[in-house]
Amino acid sequence: MDTGAPGSRASLKHVAERAGVSVKTVSNVVNGYLHVTASTRARVQQAIDELNYRPNLAARQLRQGRSDVIALALPELDLPYFAELARSVIKCAEEKGWTVLIDQTDGLAEREQLVLDGIRGRLIDGLILSPIALGAAELERRRDTTPLVLLGERVFDGPADHVAIDNVAAARAATAHLVDIGRTRIAAIGAQPRPSSETAHLRLRGYQEALAEAGLPARPEWVAEVDQYHRADGAAAMRRLLDVPEPPDAVFCFNDLMALGALREAHNHGIRVPEDLAVVGWDDIEDGRYSTPTLTTISPDKQKIASVAVEFLAARLVSGSEPPHEVTAPFTLAVRESSGGRRDRAPAAASA
């Protein structure tokens, strides 16, 4: 027997011949079966080491009906929130020995549909999707049986397991914080009129509820609509708010990137933060902890969202017959310098 030729690879048969045992015995040792004597196991292991044998994982996974690969599809990978969430999903998946394939949908219906329908066969064991364009009706028509977990606010009570946070409660907490520090002209940046913009609708609702509870006006000119949730959108919205006859003394931004844009625009206009204008964001991205001033923000538990999503997939691989589950992950309000708090101070707020 010679397996030393360039490019050659030892097989179970080669190991069996070297160890003087059957191929079945080698397979039992490789797969960790207990009913092998210690001396035989040692002989087989020595042959494995001498031949540098490596199991054919692809073949094994094919036999088991598993690939140990899951897919994660997110709207925009260059948004720090999604990048940080992806990192948490990868870490949780690694603990199960899984590899994560990542795709970007850009929030487009055709790309989200492609993710749902285009990854077939034994390529992946499960899919985690954060839909923006597709709703419950489209997801109900899905015929692929690959386990699916939904993230975000687009679909509630849908056909798959779902992990989200209570956007209304979190937006209410952010706005109530601004009320508590004495602000009375509180604006919002991030409203979107599109029917599919469920996240924006929920956060706007929480903002409006908090103002109503405090007896403060919710003036239309203090609600700034945006197309996207990027820094430039926040800066442009802040410029418009500063041009109204009675500009705000506080602003709640529906994500941290827009809040960072708003901070920069306030600085450009000589507006002091938080003395003249208090600013609160959403996402608790790392950049907000290093901005000047540091950014007060809603901090979703990204690690919890990731771990629950991965555990949902693991459970579906064992038994897919249970009804879909809805889980609401917690959040905190991290109060920092942009609303008068100390750097990196993060007291707990109401959690969902």
Distance of CA 297 to the CA centre of its chain: 17
Note whether residue 212 is domain-resident: yes
Where are the alpha helices (H) located in the chain, listed in sequence order?
A: 12-19, 23-30, 38-51, 57-64, 80-94, 109-118, 136-140, 167-180, 198-214, 231-242, 256-268, 302-318
Q: Residue 37, class by beta-carbon neighbours within 10 Å (0-12 exposed, 13-18 middle, 19+ buried)? A: exposed
Residues 253 and 273: beta-carbon distance below 8 Å: no
Residue 1: the pLDDT is: 52
- Name the residue range of residue 297's domain: 167-301+333-339
- Domain match, 306 and 292 both: no
- φ/ψ of 115, rounded to 5, equals -65, -40
Residue 155: the pLDDT is: 81
Note whether residue 262 is domain-resident: yes
137, 171, 323, 146: CA torsion to nearest 10: 60
CA distance 155 to 130: 9
- φ/ψ of 320, rounded to 5, equals -100, 15
Note whether residue 111 is domain-resident: yes
> Which CA distances in Å does 11 have to 7, 18, 320?
13, 11, 36
Note whether residue 146 is domain-resident: yes
CA distance 121 to 4: 36
Rg, the chain, Cα only: 26
Residue 195: the pLDDT is: 78
CATH number reported for the structural domain that contains residue 195 in this entry: 3.40.50.2300
* Domain tally, the chain: 3
pTM as predicted: 0.78
Return the residue matching tokens 């924006």: 200
Number of Cβ within 10 Å of residue 292's Cβ equals 10
CATH number reported for the structural domain that contains residue 49 in this entry: 1.10.260.40
Alpha-carbon torsion 95, 298, 165, 193, what sign?
negative
CA distance 278 to 273: 6
Note whether residue 255 is domain-resident: yes
- Domain match, 171 and 297 both: yes
Note whether residue 49 is domain-resident: yes
Residue 240: the pLDDT is: 98
- Domain match, 225 and 310 both: no
Note whether residue 346 is domain-resident: no
* Tens digit of each residue's pLDDT, the chain (352 residues): 555 444 457 888 899 999 999 988 988 887 666 678 989 989 998 999 889 887 655 555 545 567 789 999 999 999 999 999 999 999 999 999 999 999 999 999 999 998 888 655 458 899 999 999 988 888 888 877 889 999 998 888 888 999 999 999 999 999 999 999 999 999 999 999 887 789 999 999 999 999 999 999 989 999 999 999 999 999 999 999 999 999 999 999 999 999 999 999 999 999 999 999 999 999 999 999 999 999 999 999 999 999 999 999 999 988 767 889 999 999 999 999 999 976 544 333 433 3
Please give the single-letter amino acid code of residue 121: G
What are the tokens at 115? 């993710």
Query: 337: left (phi > 0), else alpha (psi -120 to 50), else beta?
Result: alpha
Residue 31: the pLDDT is: 67
- Domain match, 41 and 72 both: no
What are the tokens at 230? 């990027």
Residue 346: the pLDDT is: 39
Strands 278-282 and 296-300: parallel
